[in-house]
Each structure stands twice: as C-alpha cells, then as structure tokens.
Amino acid sequence: MRAKQIPSSLTRSKSQILLLFFSLSLILLSFLFFLFPPSDPAASSTTHPYPHPLIPPQTSFVASLEHFLTHKALNHRSSDDTVRSLLQDDVRMFDDRKFAKEMDWVHGDRYYPLNFPIRVYVYQMPNKFTYNLLWLFRNTYRETSNLTSNGSPVHRLIEQHSIDYWLWADLIAPESERLLKNVVRVHRQEEADLFFVPFFTTISFFLLEKQQCKALYREALKWVTDQPAWKRSEGRDHIFPIHHPWSFKSVRRYVKNSIWLLPDMDSTGNRYKPGQVSLEKDLILPYVPNVDLCDAKCVSESESKRTILLFFRGRLKRNAGGKIRSKLVTELAGAKDVVIEEGTSGDQGKAAAQKGMRR
C-alpha cells in the first residue's frame, strides 16, 4: 500500500511528535479533572479557573458516572462500527482515502503536523464493551464489598484506574463541554491521527467472572483487529487504556504494537512481558486519586499546618527489580522536613496518607 512507502524514519518521527502532544494533553486533562475543586455556585460572579465556567469539572468518578449514565447515555446512538465482512479491498480503499488526506495536509500546510491539533477517532463499539460495563459498575457499586489480596476494595481500585472513563467521556462530549481542547474528535476515520478504543478493561477484570472476562477480551480483540484502520497500520495508531496492570493480560501479545495507557512499566512483577511496553510508544498516566478532595476551605485551614516538605506513604520494599524506591528511602532517611513511612491500603491507610499529604 502507498502508506507503506513513506520512509520509516519519517513515520517514526511523526509518531513521536504526535505521542508527545497527546501525552501532554492527557496530563493536562488529568490536572483539570483531578486537581481543581468544584466551584462554589454562590461564587458564580467571581473569576473562574475553568475553561467553561458554567460546567466545572467533576472530580468524583461515582458522581460523574451517575450523571453520565442518567443524563447522557440514554440518548446515545445504538449504531456501532462493527465490521460485518471485511475484504482486502476495504483495507485498500481506506488506505487510499487516508493517503489522499495526508497528502492534502502535507501540501496544504508547510508546518504540518506541528500546528495541527491531535485528531482522534473514537470507535463506536457494541454496548457490551462500553455502556453495559459502566452500568454494571454503577448498579453493583454499593453492593460489592469484596477485597483484593492486599485489602483494597475492588470498586476503589476501579476508581483509581478509571482514566479510560474520564478520557472517553470527554472525547464524546459536545464540543462546548469538552476540557481537552487541543485534542479534536473527528468523525471520519481517514482524518484521524489516532484511534481510541473505549473498552473498559479494568471494570471487566474486576467485576466479571474469570472465564467470562477472558471471553469478552477475546471478543474485543477480534472486534478491533477486524477494523480496516487496524489492518492498515497493524494497530500502531490505536490507543488502548490498559491502566490496571493485570487487565487485558490474556490478549496483550496481540496488541503489542499499539499505544497503551499505563500506570507504570514494571515488568518485574509478572505484569508486562518483554517487548510489550516501551517508552517509545506507550504513555504513563497518573492514578485517579480516591482520597477526599481538599476544597478551598480545607486548603485555607491546612495551610498553616504544612510543615512537611516531602511526604511518602506506601510500600518501601518493592518486587524484584524495584530498586529506585529503596535507594530513595536510603538517601532521604533523616532529611529535614521529609517523612517517608511504610503504608498499607484500606480505610486506615487512606486516612493516614490523606492526613500526611495535607501537611
């Protein structure tokens, strides 16, 4: 195909530029969602720190999801992008359209792609991969109290790894409500730089039975890899939110060329296999905090109590190969205004971490 004739060095350079822009955009979105407190309705006449004063960003996953499902999801279109019978001609025709569009951009703007926004196509997957999983979380949130092996409530871990929901909800929102302004959603695949796969791997991992989850993973894999855009690029321009280190594990080897949104790249704890993750293609996104938001009143009350320069609470000894943390502990032990302590998960650990961070 003609797209394959572009020198690999140019393709790699363009991909790295797009990844850099996309990573900066995602980090910006994380700050907007998770660091700014909701505005006070009584202070609507004052200056607003948000792009859209009338729609302050929601910081609670549960509250945001409830609003999304009850006010927006009910009106979503039932159609999807499922490929019924894919022929090689379909891939060739898509490649022709994509190549023609890229040539228009190259010849039409001397600064392409530097002054272009990142264009993302969001797949419309069948409901079982998207809305049904969100409803499953919503309907079982208060009923499910089972814990993981380290004592963390399952639903809290889903909230912690909910970056896939926050990104998807923003990408499909009306343009006037979107926060991530330097990423544009396009509705024609040939106009896209990247393809977002909105499959909630973390929810399915925790809330479905093991075999049921693996079967759904296989179905999602087949659905995505049947797409003409996937076959054209072998998935190199497709984004998978795989934010929990154990989710999507049984089929990862088939999507190793794709861009993964990850919490870390720890390959020592049997999380990722060699060759699956790479700093050249993947992005590390922060955990979604599940502590209580420190609003303006909280900030003013705690400001005078801030006597700590650096605070850490968590596991001081990591799995084999986790050497950096132990070296930091050794280097910083006894340093002035530095507090580093062993921590555990659960309600008491959460409260202790929250208290320490506010100091």
Residue 275 has φ and ψ, to the nearest 5°, of 90, -5
Q: How far apart are CA 244 and CA 288, in angstroms?
A: 12
Q: Mean pLDDT over residues 336-344, rounded?
A: 89
Give residue 30's pLDDT: 55
The lowest-confidence range among 165-179, 250-264, 270-284 is 270-284
Question: Tokens in use for 113?
Answer: 């792609």
With beta carbons less than 8 A apart as the criterion, state whether 242 and 262 touch: yes
pLDDT in tens, 191-211: 999 999 999 999 999 999 999
**DSSP notation for 142-206:** TT---B-TTS-BHHHHHHHTTHHHHHHHHHTS-GGG-S-TTEEEESSGGG-SEEE----HHHHHH
Give residue 151's pLDDT: 64
pLDDT band at 162 (very low <50, low <70, confident <90, very high): very high
Nearby residues of 126 by Cβ (< 8 Å), 6 or more positions away: 80, 82, 223
For residue 261, pLDDT beyond 60: yes
What percent of the chain clears pLDDT 90, i.e. is strictly above it?
35
Strand partners, 195: 121, 238
Distances in Å between the Cα of 117 and the Cα atoms of 19, 31, 47 are: 12, 20, 28
Distances in Å between the Cα of 192 and the Cα atoms of 16, 153, 165 are: 16, 38, 21
For residue 295, pLDDT beyond 60: yes
For residue 22, pLDDT beyond 70: no
pLDDT in tens, 86-138: 777 788 888 888 888 888 888 877 777 777 788 999 999 999 999 999 999 99
pLDDT in tens, 345-358: 777 888 898 889 89
Q: Which residue has the tokens 């990862």?
A: 252
With beta carbons less than 8 A apart as the criterion, state whether 34 and 28 touch: no
Q: How far apart are CA 40 and CA 61, in angstroms?
A: 19
Question: Tokens in use for 146?
Answer: 């089972």
Q: Which amino acid is at 62?
A: V
What percent of the chain clears pLDDT 70, i.e. is strictly above it?
76
Nearest to 229 by CA among 86, 59, 45, 85: 86
Q: How far apart are CA 264 and CA 252, in angstroms?
A: 15
Residue 9 has φ and ψ, to the nearest 5°, of -65, -40
3-state secondary structure of 18: helix
Q: Regarding predicted confidence, which is higher, 30 or 184?
A: 184
Give 282's DSSP letter.
-
